Amino acid sequence: MPRALVILVGIAAAVVVLFGIREVASIAGPVVLALVLVIAVSPVRGWLRTRSAPIWLQVAVPFLIVVLVLVGMVGILTISVTQLVSLLPTYTDQFERLLADSERWAAAHGISNDVLNKGLQAFDPGRVLGLAQSLLGSLIGILSALFLIVVLLLAMSLDAPTTARILTAGEGSRPQLVTALATFGHKTRRYLIVSTVFGLINAILDMIALSLLDVPLPLLWGVLALIANYIPNIGFVIGLIPPAMLALLDGGVQTMSLVIAAYIVINVVTQSFILPKFLGDAVGLSTTMTFISLIVWTFVLGPLGAILAIPLSLLTRALLIDSDPSAKWVQALVSGRIPRE
């Protein structure tokens, strides 16, 4: 068949599959989340296996770790968003005062009120905080499907030892596929562990800075920073804007500037200087492919797709590219690295 026809058919099939997944996103999202969480805690299961622990313990300990983390996240987000909802209406007067001060400053510098009003409408802190509230509400909605996620986690945890043996047995007949899936598991696990550790460091430092600056709800913004750390490219901005806007309403321009400066310093030190040394090229995706994956998976699965964009792209790469011996050039294309001869 002509290569152009093959490409067009492949694109059409991909579109059909993506729209199909989008239609069942409420099921597909928890399934992928459960799979990623099981992969993340697989080192615990491996450690117990090397200690000759019974099978039930190899299943129960990783399962309980994940469930406790999920329950803790749901609890923190629920309480914090409730506090945010009750807090936002109290800043109406502050915003009106900010608007009046901006109009006086604009008049003193020869800027028309029409230009200022358009700018404030586009940069309305109330809208930004409302967007943050909506995002956090969506995350709570995702995590509140806890029963489905827990059932999936339990099923996958029970099947994990058997799945590992089946994959090992398949090395003789499908070595490329088994190797690709093993690489996917290794890269996903390394990405999640390293990102979680540095996300926690970022979140703790952000919470300390916000507490010192007396910005309300530092725990909520720390959790948001941790969650946003999994969102490639734009996660830092998503984690910064809500607390910066709240700092503007609560303490003025100076407090907002200090919050922005603190976030930038923390992010530059941890994410730009330290993180690459530990993560290296574990992801295996170019900057362009990372950004495209963020757009595609957010469109398909919503907020959860943004958080799981990297693992989902790694899984897609393993199934469609790494398992095909003739796709070396495609591997180089998506990773942005010239293959060694």
In sequence order, what DSSP letters do the residues of 9-78 get, joined into one string?
A: HHHHHHHHHHHHHHHTHHHHHHHHHHHHHHHHTHHHHHHHHHTT--HHHHHHHHHHHHHHHHHHHHHHHH
Instruction: Kindly give the interhelix angle for 175-212 and 146-169, rounded to the nearest 10 degrees.
Output: 140
- Tens of pLDDT, residue by residue over 296-317, are 999 998 888 888 998 999 998 8
- Nearest Cα residue to 304 out of 151, 193, 138, 192: 138
In the chain, pLDDT over 90 holds for what percent of residues? 11
- Kindly state the average pLDDT of the residues 258-274: 84
What's the mean per-residue pLDDT of the chain? 79
CA neighbor of 66 nearest in space, from 29, 31, 40, 27: 40
What confidence score (pLDDT) does residue 237 get? 86
Which position has the higher pLDDT, 11 or 89? 11
Write down the pTM of the prediction.
Answer: 0.79
pLDDT tier at 336, thresholds 50, 70, 90: low
Q: What is the dihedral of CA 49, 52, 57, 59, to 10 degrees?
A: 30
Over range 203-223, report the average pLDDT.
90
Dmax over CA atoms of the chain, in Å, equals 78
Round to whole Å and give the CA distance between 267 and 173: 46
Tens-digit pLDDT profile for residues 138-185: 555 655 677 788 888 888 888 887 777 777 777 677 778 888 888 888
Q: Categorize the per-residue pLDDT at 335 as very low, low, confident or very high, splitting at 50, 70 and 90.
A: confident
Q: Is the pLDDT of residue 340 over 70?
A: no
pLDDT above 80 (res 110): no
| Tokens of residue 2, six digits | 């002509």
Query: What sign has the CA pseudo-torsion 178, 182, 187, 188?
Result: positive
Residue 228's pLDDT is 86
Q: DSSP character for 324? A: -
pLDDT of residue 211: 93
What's the DSSP call for residue 136? H
Query: Could you give the C-alpha distances from 223 to 53, 183, 199, 242, 326, in angstroms and in order?
Result: 34, 30, 9, 12, 43
Task: With a cut of 70, say whether residue 242 has pLDDT above it.
Answer: yes
Model pLDDT for residues 319-329, shown as the tens digit of each residue:
888 887 777 77
